[in-house]
Amino acid sequence: MTRGEDTKQTILESGLDMASQLGLEAVSIGGLAKKTDMSKSGLFAHFQSKENLQIEILKHAADLFAADVVVPALKTKAGTGRIEALVNNWIRWTDMLTGGCIFVAASTDFKDRPGKVRDVLLRQQEAWIDCLRRMAQSAIASGDFREDIDCDQFAFELYSLLLGFHLYYKLLNNKDIQEHQRKALKRLLDDYQRSP
């Protein structure tokens, strides 16, 4: 990496953490310049506009998400074990950022802000839901899930569970959330599994 790319990565890290706490819309070139102790003009040279900064933060987050959540899960054996690995990786990912998963926060922030940022967010969310769907498909192929299950339905139910976890964990600081999450995941996996 050149020194310029290195600086850009540092700014993006900082912007990502800020966005996870206060929302992507709250991140501006001016605010981020202050936070990183850099000049506003220096940040403008890297990102040109607030919109572009927000897009680059989302893309940076998507790269990290793929590397930390999806890729390690795909290295485990297909089936319910892989789904459990994916869920554990996702929970670790929400812990890595101060304010939790940036995509969950951006999903409410940008649902009614049409534009390029929302388009990038939509593509990431569709890819994530597709990843969940493929988890169910490979669990059928491995023999863990019944063949007649609806993989889109499974993706919806699993993502719902993660969204519930996020609210209980990050907003409510609910002390029983780990146990609730484990029980709900077990019920979900049990219901989709082949009868032994």
Q: Summarize as ranges the residues that interact with its own copies (CB under 8 A).
A: 21-23, 25-26, 98-100, 104-105, 107-113, 121-122, 125-126, 129, 150, 152-153, 156-157, 159-161, 163-165, 167-168, 170-172, 176-177, 180, 183-184, 187, 191
* Shortest CB 6 distance to its own copies, Å: 28
142 CB contacts (<8 Å, ≥6 apart)? 77, 78, 79
Considering the complex, state which of residue 75 and residue 112 has its C-beta at the smaller distance from its own copies: 112
Taking the complex as a whole, how short is the minimal distance between the CB of residue 189 and its own copies, in angstroms?
12
CA distances for 137 relative to 30, 72, 171, 191, 192, angstroms: 46, 18, 33, 15, 11
From residue 30, alpha-carbon distances to 20, 50, 98, 149, 172 in Å are: 17, 9, 21, 50, 31
Find the shortest distance in angstroms from Cβ 18 to its own copies.
10
Q: How far apart are CA 51 and CA 149, in angstroms?
A: 41
Least Cβ distance, residue 55 to its own copies (angstroms): 17
Shortest CB 187 distance to its own copies, Å: 6
**Tokens 């939790």 sit at which residue?**
100
Smaller CB distance to its own copies: residue 68 or 157?
157
